[in-house]
């Protein structure tokens, strides 16, 4: 039987939390889609756009009731880790997170963060 996989994406309210916990302030980022439901085995794309130039971007994952886990720290081009990969185009202020062959264990909240220059 097919299984639904839930992805949630949230960024703005976490920026303040990052500021207080990591002592760095993050510029505004926009992620899309805000929520996503896919079937097991489907490929998934989550996009992130940021407002000002930054030299790096980080993708995080947060499982329900748990802390943040760093997936990727990007300064250029692409990184890959198993079924997860991410690209960044700094001059276009855009990054994407790709999940190949989504599994129920991928259900989580994903967010991107950029450090203000």
Could you read off the pLDDT of 37-50 as tens digits, one per residue? 778 888 988 888 88
CATH number of the domain residue 15 falls in: 2.60.40.10
Could you read off the pLDDT of 10-44 as tens digits, one per residue? 443 444 334 334 433 444 566 666 777 778 888 98
pTM for the full predicted model: 0.76
Token pair of 32 as six digits = 């899309």
Instruction: Tally the domains of the chain.
Output: 1
Helix, strand, coil percentages for the chain (3-state, nearest 5): 15, 50, 35
Give the domain extent around 8: 4-114
Distances (CA, A) of 85 to 12, 27, 52, 73, 91: 23, 23, 23, 11, 19
β-partners of residue 72 are: 59
Alpha helices in the chain (DSSP H): 12-22
């Amino acid at each position: 039987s097919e299984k639904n996989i839930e992805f949630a994406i949230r960024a703005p309210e976490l920026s303040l939390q990052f500021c207080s916990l990591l002592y760095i302030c993050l510029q505004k980022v926009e992620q899309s889609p805000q929520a996503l439901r896919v079937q097991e085995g489907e490929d998934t794309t989550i996009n992130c756009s940021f407002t000002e130039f930054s030299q790096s971007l980080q993708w995080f994952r947060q499982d329900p009731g748990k802390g943040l886990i760093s997936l990727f720290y990007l300064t250029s081009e692409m990184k890959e880790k198993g079924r997860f990969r991410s690209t960044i185009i700094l001059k276009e202020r855009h990054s994407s997170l790709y999940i190949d062959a989504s599994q129920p264990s991928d259900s989580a909240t994903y967010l991107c963060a950029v450090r203000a220059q």
